[in-house]
């Protein structure tokens, strides 16, 4: 079981992210509003994932609309 955990953590890449203090404060405020213990990392990961999903969905709809119309 330990090896599986090690393998999954190796699949992630670390980055350095610079954000303005007021952005971090807003993220922290959103984290504190959620039930449970939500870290900045989790919140930022969710936000990026949601944005990418919206962009992908938007691209599919625009492409389909252009081909049909």
Does position 9 have pLDDT exceeding 90, yes or no? no
The structural domains of the chain, with segments of one domain joined by +, span 19-68
Least Cα distance to 47 among 28, 61, 27 occurs for: 27
Least Cα distance to 19 among 51, 43, 55 occurs for: 43
Q: How confident is the model at residue 49 (pLDDT cuts 50, 70, 90)?
A: very high
Half-sphere exposure of 9 (CA within 13 A, CB side): 6
Its pTM stands at 0.70
Decide if 38 contacts 31 (C-beta within 8 A).
yes
How far is it, in rounded angstroms, from Cα 62 to Cα 53?
14
């Amino acid at each position: 079981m330990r090896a599986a955990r090690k393998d999954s953590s190796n699949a992630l890449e670390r980055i350095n992210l610079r954000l303005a203090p007021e952005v971090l404060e807003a993220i922290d405020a959103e984290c504190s509003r959620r039930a449970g213990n939500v870290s900045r990392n989790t919140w930022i990961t969710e936000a990026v994932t949601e944005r990418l999903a919206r962009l992908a969905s938007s691209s599919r709809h625009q492409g389909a609309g252009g081909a049909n119309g």
